[in-house]
Amino acid sequence: MQVFNLKVLLINKTKLLRYNLSMRSLFKNNPGIKHPWLRRFIIMIISGLLLLAAYFLGLNESSAEFWARHIQRYWVYAFGHISSILPFSLFEILVLVALLFTLIWLVLFFKKLFKGRFIKALNSLVDIVLVYALIIAIYAFVTGPSYKRAPLNFPNYSEEISSDKVKTIALAYIDNFNTVANDLERDSAGSAKLRLSLDELHNLISEEYQKLNDDYFSSYSPKTKYLLNSWFLSEMQTTGISFSLTGENHVNKLMPPVEIPFTLAHELAHSKGVMREDDANLCALLVCLNSDNSFIKYSAYFRACPRLLSAVYYSCSKEDFEEVQASLSSLVLNEYANYDEYWEEHKFFSEFQVWLNDLYLKSQGISTGVDSYIDQEDAQESGTYYPDGSPVYVVTYSPMQQLLFSLYDQGEY
């Protein structure tokens, strides 16, 4: 049996009492340091759980479909009604606040480094990383599973199609394109003017979505807004942004007007639950072509024409391709020239935008990343040639080309 030394025991108790009093004083005077790492740990756990939930919900098409129809849809509905009250973009305000917050943090961070307060600097670095990680996790949780929902059933052209018919279809679309181009008012540079307000344009395109009568789409059409800092979108070569967390769609107001209707329809498709970029492009083409408004239809033809020319290039002889290309009116050719000139002059942040968007799309399970925007046929040389010497290709037409062929057969072009 051990013998207790009373003197030693009293001394140790005195030391422990002093230590406890000093720690209480420290926590009392500095309440912010009570549980900093516990708070960080909780944020990490929440972020991780949200990302895991988004991942597992996206593994099954049925759960992704349920999520798109019953969770994301009502999130956008709720926050869309709130943000629609504001005459400005809530998304843009939040981005500006985040940038200001980050700038202030950077100043304070380097100030701590210069003063040798490395632990405090490290703590602040951890804090800001966790804050942005939580925001990303929330966004992924709300939108991520919808990328894996069932694909949309677009009209497609599965039959064999002759080169003569491809040429006929292209000429028919271009004839309509030229006709609509002649009806539009133009500025001094020859670009078509958009005479509709953004709200009017939004309402017309929303009506076309309603006509599709498909519950795959949300019936709610969140408000579309111009971004005040559209110059930044232009330098990133970005035409629009849909942000589900605030229930808003955004369009670059500085880009060539011909692109605005198609972009609005594309972003509206996202907010209606169509998350994949290629599907959103097909939705935009379909609703814009179906519109009775000349400018909206003009925007659709502007996007469709290069795909038709590409189909002719790979399906027909060089002579036929040159004939189809020559059928484009001077007004249309000038529109494309102005469009190319604008984007050639605005590309300061384009490489950063491509990298960032590619990273985002791949994080959502889209393996092709930004290439998912590109509608491309598959063409292989057959080894035979037309009389003019141009190669004959075996072509598998792209989804957009098949949609255009199908609409032509239905007389809806």
276 and 362 co-located in one domain: yes
pLDDT digit string, tens, across residues 385-406: 999 888 999 999 999 999 999 9
Instruction: Give the Cα separation of 104 and 113 in Å (integer).
Output: 14
Structure tokens at 253: 């107001």
Average pLDDT of the chain is: 90
User: Do 86 and 212 sit in the same domain of this protein?
Assistant: no
Residue 18 resides in a domain: no
**CA 171/CA 327 separation, integer angstroms:** 7
| Average pLDDT value for residue range 256-275 | 97
Question: What residues contact 185, with CB distance under 8 A and at least 6 apart?
Answer: 192, 193, 195
17 within some domain: no
| Percent of the chain surpassing pLDDT 90 | 80
Q: How far is CA 400 from CA 89, 264, 290, 365, in A?
A: 32, 18, 15, 22
Shared domain check, 213 and 141:
no
Q: How many CB atoms lie within 10 A of CB 175?
A: 13
Distance CA 333, CA 306 (A): 12
CB 164 within 8 A of CB 230: no
* pTM to 2 decimal places: 0.88
In the block, residue with structure tokens 């035409």: 239
- Residue 69 corresponds to which amino acid? R
Q: Is residue 281 part of a domain?
A: yes
Rounded distance between C-alpha atoms, residue 313 and residue 329, angstroms: 19
User: What does the pLDDT average to over 108-130?
Assistant: 93
Domain count, the chain: 2
The predicted-structure confidence for 325-377, as pLDDT tens digits, reads as follows 999 999 999 999 999 999 999 999 999 999 998 999 888 888 888 888 889 99
| Cβ contact 232:349 at 8 Å | yes
Q: What is the pLDDT of residue 364?
A: 87
Query: CB 151: neighbour CB atoms within 10 A?
Result: 12
Q: Are residues 39 and 72 in the same domain?
A: yes
User: Which residue segment(s) compose the domain that 211 sits in?
Assistant: 163-409
Residues 6+ positions from 164 with CB-CB distance below 8 Å? none
Q: How confident is the model at residue 213 (pLDDT cuts 50, 70, 90)?
A: confident
Q: What would the pLDDT profile of 267-321 be if each residue is shown by its tens digit?
A: 999 999 999 999 999 999 999 999 999 999 999 999 999 999 999 999 999 999 9
Residues 127-171 have pLDDT tens digits of 999 999 999 999 999 999 999 999 888 877 878 899 999 999 999
- Per-residue pLDDT of 64-73, as tens digits, reads 999 999 999 9
- The alpha carbon of 323 is separated from its chain's Cα centroid by a whole number of angstroms, namely 37
Query: Residue 110 is encoded by which pair of tokens?
Result: 């380097």
